[in-house]
Amino acid sequence: MNLTSDLLERFPASKPALVTISATGERRVWHFGELVARSAGLSGAMAARGVGRGDVVMTLVGNRVEWVLTLLACWRMGAVPLPCSTQLRRTDLEHRIDAASPVLCVGDEELLAEMPDGVPAMTLDEIAAVLDEDRAQAAPVAVADLDPEDGALVVFTSGTTGPPRGALHVQRYLPGQTAQARHWLGAEPDELVWCTTATGWSKSARNVFLAPWLCGAAALIVEGRFDPAERLALIERERVNVLCQAPTEYRILAKRGEVRPLPSLRRAVSAGEALDPGVIGEWRERAGLEIADGYGQTETGHITGNLVGDPVRDGSMGRSLPGFEVRIAGEEAGDSGELQVRAASCPTFFARYLDAEGPPDLVDCEWWPTGDVVREDEDGYLWYESRADDLILSAGYRIGPFEVESALVSHPAVAEAAAVPAPDAERGQVVKAIVVLREGEPSDELARELQDHVKRTTAPYKFPRIVEFAEELPRTTSGKVRRAELRET
């Protein structure tokens, strides 16, 4: 199997595949034939730099065609892409390099400055030279004949009780996206889909371009930060038919009064955290759109959603995808419990963590424990209630407290720190840090200094928007921090 021959080459070469809009507003339409040819050329250049089948290739690229081409080149030759968020800093990158041992990093030159020594780099300028048809190029790598269990993608989790862990997905993960693409994303052939998520997150590799292509649709990728006014203008100008946004983006657009009828937009979906019913209601009233919320994890891919053809239930994460088996552990007579998915029923279930010797640990040898507490109504719709662990879901980002706490205690003034979620009207949750000082006195100035320190030490989206000081952290008799108590203060 190979995505190149199984999917890309089956489309007419002249069929539009991708619409790209650069940070400067430059627009270009890429056809499937171009993407196949350009990614083939890039595979040759990567091979000349020592990349082979099974090798890991990091990316530090935003929503640009070079990111798409790098992933396609990897999948053509059997290399394993590791897309990284462009907001990662040196400490984050060092951890990923230690875990995944990449042989090459493809990235923007400015972002590559954060890379530690030891990993060869390929800049966007070098990719441009590879794509220049007037220059002599290395021969493309032949399309590899891959096994369904060969490596296809590494995505790092957010981390809750320790550092983020690299989850290895295998080749079956790529065509395995068909279920969510057709039954949740819901694109139709020749439509235009815009999944706005940033590169480096599991949803980006599966929904920015792969899921649209599995439906025969084209994908829109836009370089740059979220701008509420520009977002809707782009939807209108490009005549987007299917929109996949983070809940925070839907929230902000609703709160700022930006929502209006969008004639081209036929379907809107959301995932990453629970979307509150009030926001769904406002989009329904002002834009005439039903937002179909959904649910998935880094390890599992997409699992549930308000599916195509089903009535949307405001606030529900929907029902399991066709063929996917889920259960609620410990549920009795409608009570809530942990959502678990039968691994064998989930074609997008991961193979293993990079730091583990064997396959994932399963309950009763077959059920994956998601760590999310849900309840099920009489019609099989699932309703999210809470995390069983302490993951913080902020503006679509999944933030592990361990990373925030590690950044805080690296400051000389901090003796201890705990990070917990705090409710926020726009972001759903924000990071709240409770800090025990080693020296100095609590002050607003010190709080700002600690916030800036976290931004410099780790990805800026992880910084605590609320900083509180305490004499000590509440602990259990075994020494664990009582996070529930901190969340309530």
In angstroms, the Cα distances linking 322 to 183, 308, 351, 390 are: 8, 11, 21, 30
Please determine, for residue 30, whether its predicted confidence score (pLDDT) is greater than 90: yes
- Our CA angle for 263, 265, 269, nearest 5°, is 150
Q: Which of 313, 312, 324 is nearest to 367 (CA)?
A: 324
Cα–Cα distance measured from residue 161 to residue 230, given in angstroms and rounded to the nearest whole number: 38
pLDDT of 390 above 80:
no
- Give the chain's domains with CATH numbers: 3-382 (3.40.50.12780), 392-488 (3.30.300.30)
Residue type for 227, please?
A: D
Over residues 420-433, the mean pLDDT reads 92
Contact 323, 304 (CB under 8 A): no
Question: Taking all residues of the chain, what is their mean pLDDT, rounded to a whole number?
Answer: 93
* pLDDT band at residue 277 using 50, 70 and 90 as cut-offs: confident
Average pLDDT over residues 226-249: 94
Tell me which of 117-121, 138-142, 383-387, 458-462 is least confident. Answer: 383-387
pLDDT of residue 98: 96
Tell me: the pLDDT tens digits for 443-462?
Answer: 999 999 999 999 999 999 99
Mean pLDDT value of segment 105-112: 95
Give the model's pLDDT for residue 406: 83
- pLDDT on residue 489: 75
pLDDT value at position 311?
95
Position 442 pLDDT exceeds 60: yes
Lowest mean pLDDT among 126-130, 278-282, 312-316, 388-392: 388-392
CA atoms of 36 and 348, how far apart (whole Å): 24
| 480: pLDDT strictly greater than 70 | no
86 forms beta bridges with none
SS3 sequence of 458-483: CCHHHCCCEEEECCCCCECCCCCECH
Return d(Cα 211, Cα 219) in angstroms, integer: 9
Angle of CA points 218, 223, 228, to nearest 5°: 95
pLDDT at site 229:
85
What does the pLDDT average to over 314-323?
95
pLDDT > 60? residue 477: no
Q: What pLDDT does 162 receive?
A: 62
Structure tokens at 474: 């509440």
- pLDDT computed for residue 393 by the predictor: 86
Residue with tokens 């063929």: 323
Residue predicted with more confidence, 326 or 335: 326
Handedness of CA 129, 131, 136, 138 (dihedral sign): positive
Cα angle value 251/311/332 (rounded, 5°):
90
> What is the mean pLDDT of the segment spanning 355-377?
94
Average pLDDT for 361-376: 94
Mean pLDDT calculated for residue range 266-294: 91
Range among 327-331, 335-339, 431-435 rated most confident = 431-435
Three-state SS annotation for 278-339: HHHHHHHHHHCCCEEEEEEECCCEEEEECCCCCCCCCCCCEEECCCCCEEEECCCCCCCEEE
For the chain, how are helix, strand and coil distributed in percent, rounded to 5? 30, 25, 40
Contact status, residue 412 vs residue 404, Cβ threshold 8 Å:
no
- pLDDT of 398 higher than 80: no
Task: State how beta strands 166-170 and 352-353 pair.
Answer: antiparallel
pLDDT at 332: 59
Q: Is the dihedral of CA 118, 124, 126, 130 positive or negative?
A: positive
Task: Name the strands in the sheet holding 428-437, side by side, starting at the edge strand that comes first in the sequence.
Answer: 414-424, 428-437, 466-469
What tokens appear for 349 in the block?
Answer: 């279930």
Q: What is the pLDDT of residue 161?
A: 53
Q: What crossing angle do the helices spanning 247-255 and 228-238 adopt, rounded to 10°?
A: 100
Residue 331 pLDDT level (bands cut at 50, 70, 90): low
Residue 187 and residue 284: Cα distance in Å, rounded?
Answer: 19
Give percent of the chain above pLDDT 70: 97
Dig out the tokens for 223 from the structure.
Answer: 């370089």
Measure the CA–CA gap between 41 and 4, rounded to whole angstroms.
13
Check residue 236 and give its pLDDT.
97
Q: How far apart are CA 76 and CA 67, in angstroms?
A: 14
